[in-house]
Structure 1
Amino acid sequence: MAHTDSSTVERKNKHLTQTERGEIQGLHKQGLGPRAIARELGRPASTIKRELDRGSVEQLGSNLKVTRKYFADTSQCVYETNRQNCGRKRRWLMEAASPFLGWAVKKMLQEKWSPDVCVGRARAQGDWEVPIPCTRTLYTYIDDGLLDVKNIDLHLKVRRSTKKRRSRQHKKVLGPSIEERESDVDTRGTVGHWEIDTVRGKRTKGQALLTLTERSTRKEIVRRLSEPTAEAVNAALTDLFKGYGHQAPSIFQTITADNGGEFSDLHDWCQHQNVRAYFAHPYASFERGTNERHNELLRRFIPKGKAIQEIPDETIERAEAWTNELPRKILGYQTPDEAFEAAIQGAG
């Protein structure tokens, strides 16, 4: 007999995926409210409301008004951080169970006991006044290198095929964090502090654009790269420094980048040029908001999906000139070129 009506109810409280967060960002950008977005995604309105609160950041617009915008990358980063703090805290458990762990390590190394025997024996005795981790947790501590016991010390463990464990912690550290950046860079009080990024066309191997934006004057520099690699970025920066000659040290004092592979050698290059390099947090493009905004301006001339090698040099030069000759309200309706030249002359 066939059942025409399903009685299965969709499980509630399912976590939003990164794809759904991208859809929320797009729908929110179109002006839809939490209820309208919830109907589009088939989610409770309360879930969307909490998601928008979690992933929204304050931004200073060109009219000097502070607005809140939702970014999927920001919300995903907050979500992953919160997930790492879920459940029983490992550090607390290890500190509380340290007498047992010391005893278990001695038994495993000297008497060749297995982790399960240590846990089972301790619980059977019943005279431990500290928490006793389960067998799986004890194996986890060994796999993660938190104890003085290694897998090779466990006679049966090395004879079994074990799953390779990988830490999900973000370990790619390319240089000093943006948190170490000087206060005058944050306040835009002085000239010479730049944000850097690359603009790509099709998601295939090929050329890219290197963009640098000066934080105080909004001066924009665009250079074509043969490929989005660390070697190409360093070569373009070297040519750029040569073009400014003896003024380069005062014009380029700091450069803030993201954690992309094309900037993996940026810190070393900057050290040779007496420039300070800083790196934003993962999934925090808003920390380089000036450069991100200017990349959006470039997209008026360089649409997404079009290969950079298909774009003539004249178009790239025109796009760079347009951004630098556009009067800005935040600059008192000066152009970035005018503000940059005035700042350089004043510094000189």
Structure 2
Amino acid sequence: MRDYGFSPAQQDEIWHRWRAGESFNAMGRALGVPMHHVRSFLAQTGGIRHKPQGRSAGHLSCAEREEISRGLAAGLSARVLARRLGRASSTISREIARNGGRFAYRAVIADQAAYRRARRPKPTKLARHPALRAIVQDKLALRWSPEQISGWLRRTFPLAPDLQISHEAIYLSLFDPRRRRSIDRTLTRQLRSARPMRHPKGAKQRTGRGVIRDMVSISARPAEVDDRTLPGHWEGDLLMGTRPSAIATLVERTSRFTALVALPDGIKAHEVRPYLTRQLLHIPEPLRRSLTWDRGREMAEHQALAADTGVRIYFCHKRSPWERGTNENTNGLLRQYMPKNADLRKFDQPDLDWIAAELNDRPRRILGYRSPSEVYSGLLTSGDALTL
């Protein structure tokens, strides 16, 4: 294994920081080395640290084997030798039997044999059982997780131990370079993470960058927003194309009226806020009450946005984008115009206005087959809409 110029102490520090969840960048800065050196060092191991081979205190030492050899030459029994060494007699008997018997036992040869037998890794179960390996590879190709494969094997072959394997053994065969000959290495791409190396189980350390501060939870939204009785409450999100291209989408909850916002400068918070501010200020004030957004970092400047527009901003719970269901459904409709692999930077604001107008003119069953444009226009002239 290449050390990439890292001393043993530096290697220990890398592994300590890796288990703590630090990024490659952070580790590189701490060690004063290029980030890619740290990444290459970890990648060659599959993210799994290999401990150097050592001897357990419970195993026989070379000195003890020498005592056994001399005792056998003197005609002592295994039971007597066990008492002298403070070992179980069965331990001494097995040691003698597996190394040639009473008359052929030699301490150095026995010690070398014990070291060879203890070497790791031994042939894996997947390497020793081709039928099991074929099943595991087939299920990985179907994007099953190792845990799903392990559980399915236990249920399907309860009486066949050779066709069962733990999920941890599958992961090790995929990531550990010493075991990779036992399974197709490219199947790591079928895992949900698609990573070529194993990452620590603990969450990555927070750096403070991109954290959205002082969020107001969707739980604090007034009931009028949930039941859609009062118009002027919007949902928003970024519709992503090939990175870093994206557009912002805004949907009014009562009418399902959609507005699209071009983001020619990028998707960072300071690049998104000016365009959202301009779009929100174009909405008549009576229909500009609140905005519910996912927890995307593009909204890190939400307080400034709220101050500039007078719009109350709420955020979904963690990993709950479905709480903005109207916006999510609209984004699905927009994929007819803007596929996921499209570069959305080619759509300027007039293009997006045209797409939004076409979408808003479609009749919706939820609106009694009226179009969002019709309902939105009615809200603008409605006394209810003007009630603040």
Q: TM-score, normalised by structure 2?
A: 0.46
**CA shift at 1:232, angstroms?**
2.9
Q: Give yes or no for the alignment of 1:224 onto 2:346.
A: no
**CA shift at 1:171, angstroms?**
7.3
Distance change in 2, residues 1:274/1:243 (3 Å) = closer
**CA shift at 1:327, angstroms?**
0.6
Equivalent-residue separation in structure 2 for 1:234 and 1:340 (angstroms): 25
Alpha-carbon contact 2:247-2:344 (below 8 Å) kept: yes
**CA shift at 1:266, angstroms?**
1.4
Alpha-carbon contact 2:212-2:297 (below 8 Å) kept: no
Equivalent-residue separation in structure 2 for 1:7 and 1:45 (angstroms): 17
Give deviations 1:128-160, integer Å, cap 9, x for gaps. Answer: xxxxxxxxxxxxxxxxxxxxxxxxxxxxxxxxx
Alpha-carbon contact 2:221-2:314 (below 8 Å) kept: yes
Which of the numbers 292, 295, 314 marks the counterpart of 2:328? Answer: 292
- C-alpha RMSD over aligned residues: 3.8
Give deviations 1:58-111, integer Å, cap 9, x for gaps. Answer: xxxxxxxxxxxxxxx9xxxxxxxxx99xxxxxxxxxxxxxxxxxxxxxxxxxxx
- Pairing of 1:46-65 with structure 2 (within 5 A): none
Alpha-carbon contact 1:174-1:279 (below 8 Å) kept: no
Equivalent-residue separation in structure 2 for 1:273 and 1:171 (angstroms): 22
> Percent identity, aligned pairs only?
28
Equivalent-residue separation in structure 2 for 1:268 and 1:257 (angstroms): 15
- Pairing of 1:1-348 with structure 2 (within 5 A): 6=128, 42=149, 44=151, 166=205, 172-203=212-243, 205=244, 207-226=245-264, 227-244=266-283, 247-248=284-285, 250-311=286-347, 313=349, 315-346=351-382, 347-348=385-386
Alpha-carbon contact 2:212-2:300 (below 8 Å) kept: no
Residues paired across the two proteins, number: 204
Equivalent-residue separation in structure 2 for 1:6 and 1:230 (angstroms): 54
Equivalent-residue separation in structure 1 for 2:153 and 2:218 (angstroms): 34
Equivalent-residue separation in structure 2 for 1:181 and 1:305 (angstroms): 35
- Residue type of the alignment partner of 1:233: V
Alpha-carbon contact 1:175-1:278 (below 8 Å) kept: yes
Distance change in 2, residues 1:268/1:279 (3 Å) = same
Alpha-carbon contact 2:263-2:345 (below 8 Å) kept: no
- Residue type of the alignment partner of 2:236: I
Equivalent-residue separation in structure 2 for 1:293 and 1:305 (angstroms): 19
Alpha-carbon contact 2:247-2:262 (below 8 Å) kept: yes
Alpha-carbon contact 1:174-1:264 (below 8 Å) kept: no
Alpha-carbon contact 1:302-1:311 (below 8 Å) kept: no
Equivalent-residue separation in structure 1 for 2:127 and 2:329 (angstroms): 51
- Residue type of the alignment partner of 1:254: S
Distance change in 2, residues 1:308/1:182 (3 Å) = same
Distance change in 2, residues 1:42/1:313 (3 Å) = same
Equivalent-residue separation in structure 2 for 1:225 and 1:231 (angstroms): 11
**CA shift at 1:291, angstroms?**
0.6
**CA shift at 1:322, angstroms?**
1.9
Q: Which has the larger radius of gyration?
A: 2
Equivalent-residue separation in structure 2 for 1:221 and 1:46 (angstroms): 50
**CA shift at 1:321, angstroms?**
1.3
**CA shift at 1:236, angstroms?**
1.3
Distance change in 2, residues 1:9/1:179 (3 Å) = farther
Which residue of structure 2 lines up, in the alignment, with residue 158 of structure 1? none
Distance change in 2, residues 1:171/1:45 (3 Å) = farther
Which residue of structure 2 lines up, in the alignment, with residue 141 of structure 1? none
**CA shift at 1:8, angstroms?**
10
Distance change in 2, residues 1:166/1:232 (3 Å) = closer
**CA shift at 1:231, angstroms?**
2.2
Distance change in 2, residues 1:237/1:171 (3 Å) = closer
- Residue type of the alignment partner of 1:224: A
Which residue of structure 1 lines up, in the alignment, with residue 27 of structure 2? none
- 5+ residue gaps, structure 1, are 11-19, 25-36, 48-72, 74-82, 85-164
Q: Secondary structure at the match of 1:337?
A: helix
Give deviations 1:205-258, integer Å, cap 9, x for gaps. Answer: 3x42111011111010001012112223221133224434xx32x111010111
Q: Secondary structure at the match of 2:219?
A: helix
Which residue of structure 1 lines up, in the alignment, with residue 109 of structure 2? none
